[in-house]
Amino acid sequence: MNLSYEVISAEEIENCRDLCNELMAFQKSRAYIRPELFDSMNFETRMVPSIHSALHNYIVVVKDGRQIVGYVYSNISPKEAYSNEFATFFDLSSVLRPNVGCLSQFYIKEEYRKYGVGTKLLNMSMTWLKQFDEIEDYFVFVSNGNNEALEFYQRKGFSVSHDILDGFITVLRRNK
């Protein structure tokens, strides 16, 4: 393994297309509550719109040589972005500031997991998120069946807040 970490711009997200689609398939494979909701989720419907609606984006890819083997995508968005026709992700009145930080997508290819890559990407993302002084609330949304990710985020300082969509998603949050 010859791993390197590279911050890429929003114009370069095409590089994440395949891994983003793998993430959706992975989450569907783990889900036991409403897995069919993933059928309409892919790079075009999830990552592209999210990048465009966010105020600030941060994407880090991990490469083994020239091959991209993982990525993390975080953003700062208006809290209203989390209440839409799909779901209300959290009680907007519980967030005092106008904008929130979100660890939006996280995926490492299976053979690269459990070597500390996720921890490194999470730390980079939290450092980036915390530079925005006006942000006090950080969110992560974990789909059902993905207990490894749920526990990973809890070990990293996030706490379970509540479930939405009949348990399809667990909302975790962390304060500054």
- Tell me if 146 contacts ligand COA by CB under 6 A: yes
Using CB under 6 A, which of the segments 33-41, 127-135, 147-155, 160-168 binds ligand COA?
147-155
- Tell me if 26 contacts ligand COA by CB under 6 A: yes
| Shortest distance, position 129 Cβ to ligand COA, whole Å | 16
3-state secondary structure of 157: coil
Considering only 53, 92, 123, 155, the residue that binds ligand COA (CB under 6 A) is: 155
Considering only 17, 113, 132, 164, the residue that binds ligand COA (CB under 6 A) is: 113
- Tell me if 20 contacts ligand COA by CB under 6 A: no
Amino acid in position 25: A
Contact between 102 and 89 under an 8 Å Cβ cutoff? The reply is no
Helix (H) or strand (E) holding 51: helix 48-53
DSSP tag of 42: S
- Tell me if 49 contacts ligand COA by CB under 6 A: no
| Shortest distance, position 9 Cβ to ligand COA, whole Å | 22
Alpha-carbon distance of 38 to 56, in angstroms, equals 25
Question: Closer to ligand COA at the Cβ: 13 or 149?
Answer: 149
| Length of the chain in terms of residues written | 176
Alpha-carbon distance of 172 to 152, in angstroms, equals 11
Considering only 149, 169, 171, 172, the residue that binds ligand COA (CB under 6 A) is: 149
Contact between 82 and 104 under an 8 Å Cβ cutoff? The reply is no
Considering only 78, 98, 116, 157, the residue that binds ligand COA (CB under 6 A) is: 116
